[in-house]
């Protein structure tokens, strides 16, 4: 199969096209971001020399640090809520018989194919001061007057959980699918109780799924800037909002680039943890 370029013009053309696209639109832009993060802000050309680490230093400015920590906090809560809802959900889903499972998974990915802005907007209808939830709570006698639900930290978290829950459930579902009944049975036969089985067998075996889910939820939960824009008001910003404002409004590219590099490094760290957990499982299981 290994022939020279002359004998295989088609092969050469394919490779040139594919490499060209990825080098030009993936590698080059990413290098550019890394470069921009160590340069100086310039009003006309966006970035200029000299090289320095001011942008990274600026990340530790108390004002931004607070936004970052708050964003990280909201993302962490979002991930935790997704995990708490998604873990038992995926487990239950994997126990349903196969035919129904197909339908249930279809129902799970329908929202994923639906415009996320529109779904976020639908939450606004429910959470608004004179929205459906408040009206329902008042007519049930739970509340006397409408509560402020919209433009709160809680609203942003609800929005993020709503958009990202399927991304937690799907990887969890796939590890629960691989969890064989005989492993659980063996654990039981060896005298382990329900809790011991859960702690020593189920949790370690599903850990790669948990980490994959965390990865797929935690990072978007810091980047989806339209959720706080629609549900959160001006005080509940995500890292994504900061990056967007710095790039599009303040025109401070070095700072925006530095912020996104921090985001990317977080992702790399999570991916590393995911790899590690899989490898450990592979060794133990072999």
| Binds other proteins by CB under 8 A, chosen from 70, 119, 188, 278 | 119
Query: Which x/- pattern, by CB under 8 A, does the window 155-174 give for other proteins?
Result: -------x--x---------
Return the residues of window 190-219 that contact other proteins according to CB under 8 A. Answer: 215, 219
Residue 5 as a binder of other proteins (CB under 8 A): the answer is no
Return the residues of window 244-263 that contact other proteins according to CB under 8 A. Answer: 244, 247-248, 253, 256-257, 260, 263
The region of 2-10, 53-61, 63-71, 182-190 touching other proteins under the rule CB under 8 A is 2-10
CB of 241 to other proteins, least distance (A): 10
The region of 56-64, 67-75, 242-250, 278-286 touching other proteins under the rule CB under 8 A is 242-250
| Binds other proteins by CB under 8 A, chosen from 113, 181, 182, 249 | 113
Return the residues of window 12-31 that contact other proteins according to CB under 8 A. Answer: 14-15, 17-19, 21-22, 25-30
Q: Identify the DSSP state of 270.
A: H
- Which of 104, 35, 81 has the alpha carbon at shortest distance from 213? 81
CA distances from 144 to 135, 138, 141, 148, 269 (A): 10, 6, 7, 13, 48
Residue 76 as a binder of other proteins (CB under 8 A): the answer is no
CB under 8 A, 24+ apart: contacts of 206-210: 206/87, 206/172, 206/175, 206/176, 206/179, 207/277, 207/281, 208/175, 208/274, 208/277, 208/278, 208/281, 209/90, 209/171, 209/172, 209/173, 209/174, 209/175, 209/176, 210/83, 210/87, 210/172, 210/175
CB of 284 to other proteins, least distance (A): 26
- How far apart are the C-alpha atoms of 77 and 75, rounded to whole Å? 5
Taking residue 58's Cβ as centre, other Cβ atoms within 10 Å add up to 18
Residue 48 as a binder of other proteins (CB under 8 A): the answer is no
Paired tokens of 52: 């320095």
CB of 165 to other proteins, least distance (A): 7
Strand partners, 40: 48
- How far apart are the C-alpha atoms of 115 and 224, rounded to whole Å? 13
CB of 188 to other proteins, least distance (A): 15
If the CB atoms of residues 87 and 205 are measured against other proteins, the closer one turns out to be 87
Residue 138 as a binder of other proteins (CB under 8 A): the answer is no
Residue 74 as a binder of other proteins (CB under 8 A): the answer is no
The region of 76-84, 126-134, 173-181, 184-192 touching other proteins under the rule CB under 8 A is 126-134
Strand partners, 48: 40
């Amino acid at each position: 199969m290994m022939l020279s370029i002359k004998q295989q013009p088609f092969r050469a053309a394919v490779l040139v096209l594919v490499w060209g696209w990825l080098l030009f639109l993936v590698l080059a832009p990413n290098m550019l971001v890394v470069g921009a993060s160590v340069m100086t802000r310039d009003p006309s050309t966006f970035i200029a020399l000299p090289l320095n680490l001011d942008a990274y230093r600026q990340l530790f400015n108390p004002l931004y640090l607070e936004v970052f920590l708050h964003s990280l906090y909201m993302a962490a809560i979002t991930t935790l809520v997704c995990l708490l809802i998604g873990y038992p959900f995926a487990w239950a889903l994997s126990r349903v018989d196969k035919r129904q499972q197909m339908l249930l998974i279809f129902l799970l990915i329908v929202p994923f194919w639906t415009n996320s802005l529109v779904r976020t907007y639908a939450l606004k209808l429910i959470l608004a001061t004179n929205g459906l939830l408040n009206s329902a709570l008042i007519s049930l006698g739970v509340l006397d007057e409408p509560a402020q639900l919209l433009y709160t930290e809680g609203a942003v978290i609800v929005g993020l959980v709503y958009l990202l829950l399927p991304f937690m459930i799907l990887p969890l579902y796939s590890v629960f699918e691989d969890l064989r009944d005989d492993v659980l049975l063996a654990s039981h036969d060896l005298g382990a109780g329900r809790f011991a089985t859960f702690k020593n067998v189920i949790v370690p075996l599903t850990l790669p799924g948990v980490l994959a889910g965390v990865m797929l939820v935690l990072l978007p939960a810091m980047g989806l800037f339209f959720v706080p824009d629609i549900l959160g008001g001006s005080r509940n910003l995500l890292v994504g909002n900061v990056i967007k404002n710095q790039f599009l409004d303040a025109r401070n590219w070095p700072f925006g680039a530095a912020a996104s590099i921090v985001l990317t490094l977080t992702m790399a760290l999570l991916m590393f943890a995911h790899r590690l957990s899989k490898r450990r499982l592979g060794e133990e299981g072999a």
